[in-house]
Amino acid sequence: MSLQALSLGLYVHVPFCANLCAYCNFYRERPIKSLVQSYLIEINRELELWKNILSQRSVSTIFFGGGSPSSLSCRDLETLCARMQPFMPHVTEWTVEVSPTTINREKLKVLRESGVTRISMGVQSFQTDVLRCLGRRQTRVQVYRAYDWIRTAGFNNINLDLIFHPNLADFQLWEMDLKEVIRLSPEHISTYCLSFERPEGPFKPRDCTDENQETLCYLRTWDWLKNRGYQHYEVSNFARDGYVCLHNLNTWKMQEWIGLGPSAASQWNKRRFQNAHSIQDWLSTEKINCMDLSEEILCTDCLIFGLRMREGICLDSLQKRFPFVDVAKYVPLWQRFELEGLVNVQNNQLTCTDKGLLVVDALAREILNCVADN
């Protein structure tokens, strides 16, 4: 696959968030005015660093993640969106993450008029006790109101994030959240299992239910959403026909993207760039780490992320894209996985079964071991 054939995405990390949730491990800071202004100035400088590349390539997707981009003021959000206008002629999808507690009609008007096509809102749960445990400040009323505002603003591509109920043993509690999200009828739903990212958070590993309960919750969720018209196209993501997240697909397929902001990563021309994690370090001169990507590394990443997608990986296409990698060395691994009921291989298309998707991280480790052994 030639360089020009690769899609180019643009990711902007907005690290500001009014509420620092205990389960979140993404880099974020409280939106102090002086820090926000420094951030906006530095985004301009960072765009200048990538100016030559961005002038030669068409940006196909934009994604504002966080943190919470909606924690910016209306004026600051408008300023940031204005930086994206030169790329708009070829953009097919522009996603902005929002929080029910910080989004409003005025901000949605700015996003809509700027050309944003997709809104992703972090709901996590509709249940007051769960929200309280998660450290979320929003109420059910705020979620419903924000959703109505998003629809009224004219957005017809909405994702809602949910986190599995901490008590996985009681599927009915989780089903209550699923029923509410279906009632709202978004085009896309993302579901995540509660993780324990921060030692000071309310949940500790001992609070986890056993793996059998977690497995059952995953499988029942997949069936539940599939039966209601949502395509399960990636381990944690579901979409109605025509509404998969193009930006994320671009990343999972190891295409190319440019990341702006603290902790953002870029992948371009067989190189990977990593911005400094903290905003203070990112605002300094020395803020980018870079590594060269061999065909072996890129091929391995394609396999690892490709197995997370229902469509899987075309092994013939993979070999053509990476002609100097011996893709055939994985054949014994695929054969073992197939015997164990973890994957299917038909017409050189490798896909995970439900059983395989449940242990896809373990499959990734096996792939990495295979690379190390060869």
Q: Residues 278-290: what's their mean pLDDT? A: 80
The pLDDT, as a whole number, for residue 137 is 76
pLDDT at 31: 72
Residue 7: left (phi > 0), alpha (psi -120 to 50), or beta? beta
DSSP 8-state class, residue 320: H
Check whether 200 has a pLDDT greater than 80: no
Does 270 fall in a domain? no
End-of-domain residue from the set 218, 235, 250: 250
- Find out whether 128 and 14 touch, Cβ atoms under 8 Å: no
Is residue 169 pLDDT above 70, yes or no? no
> Which residue, among 204, 213, 304, 296, has the nearest Cα to 251 in the 3D structure?
304
Same domain, 181 and 312: no
Is 311 found in the same domain as 227? no
Stretch (H or E) spanning 169: none
pLDDT for 24: 56
pLDDT for residue 167? 63
Q: How many domains would you assign to the chain?
A: 2
Digit-coded pLDDT (tens) for 352-371: 999 999 999 999 999 999 98
Q: What is the pLDDT of residue 21?
A: 56
- What angle do helix axes 331-339 and 360-373 make, rounded to 10 degrees? 150
Nearest to 42, CA basis, from 85, 13, 71, 5:
13
For the chain, the average pLDDT equals: 89
Query: Does residue 87 register a pLDDT over 90?
Result: yes
* 260 located within any domain: no
Segment 23-55, tens digit of pLDDT: 555 555 667 899 999 999 999 999 999 999 998
Residue 17 confidence class, pLDDT cut points 50, 70, 90: confident
The last residue of one of the domains, among 250, 266, 285, is 250
The backbone torsions φ and ψ at residue 8, rounded to the nearest 5 degrees and listed phi first, read -120, 120
Interval 305-312 mean pLDDT: 97
Q: Of 223, 250, 277, which closes a domain?
A: 250
Query: Same domain for 133 and 76?
Result: yes
* Domain co-membership, 89 together with 236: yes
Q: Are residues 320 and 219 in the same domain?
A: no
Rounded-to-integer distance, Cα 144 and Cα 148, Å: 6
Residues 129 and 244 in one domain: yes
Average confidence (pLDDT) over 309-332: 96
Please check whether residue 350 lies inside any domain of the structure. Answer: yes
In a domain, 281, yes or no: no
pTM of the model: 0.92
DSSP per position, 232-272: EEETTEEE-TT---HHHHHHHTT-EEEEESTT-EEEETTEE
Query: What number is the average pLDDT over the span 231-254?
Result: 97
- Say if 264 falls within a structural domain: no
Is residue 276 assigned to a domain? no
Distance CA 157, CA 244 (A): 10
Q: Is the model's pLDDT at 117 over the cut of 90?
A: yes
Structural domain boundaries enclosing 182: 3-250
Would 192 be classed as within a structural domain? Answer: yes
pLDDT for 119 equals 98
Q: Are residues 231 and 303 in the same domain?
A: no
What's 345's domain CATH number? 1.10.10.920
* Choice between 167 and 89, residue whose per-residue pLDDT is larger: 89
171 and 242 assigned to the same domain: yes
- Predicted confidence at residue 1, as pLDDT, reads 39
Percent of the chain topping pLDDT 90: 71
pLDDT above 80 for 127: yes
Clarify whether residues 232 and 340 are in a common domain.
no
Flag whether pLDDT at 190 surpasses 80: yes
The verdict on residue 275 lying in a domain is no
CATH of the domain at 124: 3.20.20.70
Q: Do 309 and 204 sit in the same domain of this protein?
A: no
